Structure 1
Amino acid sequence: MGILGWLLAVLAVLAAGTLGYWLRYPGAWRYAFGARYADRRRDLDIHRRRLCAVRRTARRAVAAARGTADRATAAHRTRIAAAQSEVDRLRDPGRGTEGQALGALRLCEHKLVLTTDGRATDHPLDSVALRAEHAADATHVHLVLPDGRQRELRFPHGEFTKAEVKSFVVAAHDGVARAKSARLDREALLPAAEAALAQVREDTAEVDRAHVRLEEVRAEQDADPTIAEAEQRWEDARDRWQRLTGVRPFRPYSAR
């Protein structure tokens, strides 16, 4: 920035300061800057600062109560989300840990994934059945899906050995057994998890107390005689300044 730029910046700062000062003490130049009216300006300042201070204290009290209410609400939502997540997991655990793959088939802890025409479809592992049938040139896997539909998948010996297909089928049979056992365990736990979710949703006591306290704090601040007194003293000071200058001072933003 050159000298001209710095000069313009300084002038802008001075102009802003002068404008701000003028807005604090509106009217003629002599009222805003004259030594004769210093006491009048001081009178205005005292009551302006007092009003801003009590209003700031009130806002802080309300903000603190609102923060407590917001934290209580957020904590309640977090508890609900955790309980809902547990219910969702028991209803549908997802794929779980991935295991062996064989061509279009992928074995997971809770699902059998079948890929057809580039699209993968999950099927609950506890509800599928499959068996292998060996032919001269390929091994065929007969798959029964949970809805009763059947698929036959061909695994040519040139791409898949009998041992690879057998290993996958054995792993799938074991996985089906484990998945059925896991489903029974989840079904046994689900009622308690659903009850816990309902209880968490209904338990709003802490949230209710925090919001009641917030409203109490707001009411306390609205009825605070200190604020009313500061407001009245400020309005009286504005009246005095207006009688002197013919112009009423602006209400400070921090006092709103």
Structure 2
Amino acid sequence: MGAIWPAVIAVVAGGAYAGWRRYLFPGGWAFALAARFAAERRELAEARSKVRGLEGAARADESAARSELAEQERRYKNEVRTRERLIATLNNPGTGKRLAGLGEVALYEHVVVAKDASGVRHTLPLAGLGVELDRGEESYHLYLVRADKQRVRVDYPRLGANPDDTEQPRFTEKRVRDFADGVQNAAAQENTFRARLPERLKETEAELDRVRADTAARERARERLARVRKRNEANPHLHDAREELETERRKWRALTGKMPPA
């Protein structure tokens, strides 16, 4: 059974080849396959090949020009979107990324979120925020002082105090002081950020205007595509090759009574 399959495949492939030849060179099997019409088939095939080659080169040139235009369009849009996103972020920075946390306090780039000694949760802007630390008998008291002087107190039970209470986490003074320093430093950075914000916004908006106005690269790519299309449309070599192919097709029709495909 295995020896039959190669023969079957060969017959199918041969039939497909013969059918394709008859499609390219219509008029009967003799015109498609016989040696006496080889010269006529060769002339028609060469005319086709010449047109295909020139058309392929023209398509490749136009495709490259279209790709360049698409790339310039993509770059332009990305440049504009990048600056638009930056302006939106500057106008509304939100909380920013999380920087640190200790107990009931989470520190972010632009705010600190804290649950006070009464269990009330507060979201405090870092701009203008003050930080104070007091050492009580059983806890360290971290005070977050808002710009309007309102104070939020967070308690950190001291390590070693009230040893019978094993449910609450305990904190060393160094750990609490290090965290308080981190909050204070983040607040200082936020103050600097807010102070520079109007200038940064002005600079970024001016840059956005400049990027939007800079369309030179896109225009060059668009003009190149137009030139390539115009050149391809007026290509005398392609025009002559198509005329030659039409001549060969008409000769074949005169010989066989059938017009071959282009």
Deviates more, 1:203-212 or 1:13-22: 13-22
Aligned to 1:34: 34
SS at match of 2:127: helix
**Shift, 1:48, TM fit:** 0.9
- For CA contacts below 8 A with separation 6 or more, give which structure has more relative contact order: 1
Partner amino acid, structure 2, of 1:41? R
Q: Alignment partner for residue 225 of structure 1, among 214, 224, 236?
A: 236
Aligned to 1:125: 126
Contact 1:90 1:187 in 2 (8 A): no
TM-score (norm 1): 0.76
In structure 2, the gaps of 5 or more residues are: 116-120, 159-167
**Shift, 1:186, TM fit:** 3.4
SS at match of 1:53: helix
CA deviations 1:61-82 (Å, max 9, x no partner) are 2123223222322332343344
Q: Could you say if the C-alpha distance between residues 43 and 174 of structure 1 is closer, same or farther in structure 2, counting changes exceeding 3 Å?
A: closer
In structure 1, the gaps of 5 or more residues are: 252-256
Is 2:192 the partner of 1:181?
Answer: yes
Q: Distance in 2 between matches of 1:141 and 1:24?
A: 90
Aligned to 1:50: 50
Aligned to 2:204: 193
Contact 1:104 1:114 in 2 (8 A): yes
**Shift, 1:199, TM fit:** 0.9
User: Percent same amino acid at aligned positions?
Assistant: 25
CA RMSD of aligned residues (A): 3.7
Aligned to 2:3: 3
CA deviations 1:79-136 (Å, max 9, x no partner) are 33444455455443863572x4212322234442559xxxx99864226566667766
Partner amino acid, structure 1, of 2:69? A
Is 2:169 the partner of 1:159?
Answer: yes
CA deviations 1:175-211 (Å, max 9, x no partner) are 2122111221233222111110121122111101211
**Shift, 1:227, TM fit:** 2.1
CA deviations 1:142-182 (Å, max 9, x no partner) are 66789x99976554454233724454334323321221112
Contact 2:109 2:186 in 1 (8 A): yes
Q: Distance in 1 between matches of 2:150 and 2:253?
A: 90
Q: For this pair of structures, how many residues does the alignment match?
A: 247
Q: Distance in 2 between matches of 1:125 and 1:112?
A: 6
Counterparts of residues 39-188 of structure 1 (less than 5 Å)? 39-84=39-84, 86-88=86-88, 90-91=90-91, 92=93, 95-96=96-97, 98=99, 100-113=100-113, 124-126=125-127, 138=139, 153=154, 155-157=156-158, 158-161=168-171, 163=173, 164-188=175-199
Q: Distance in 1 between matches of 2:132 and 2:114?
A: 15
TM-score (norm 2): 0.75
Kindly indicate which of the two structures has a greater share of residues assigned to helix.
1
SS at match of 1:126: coil
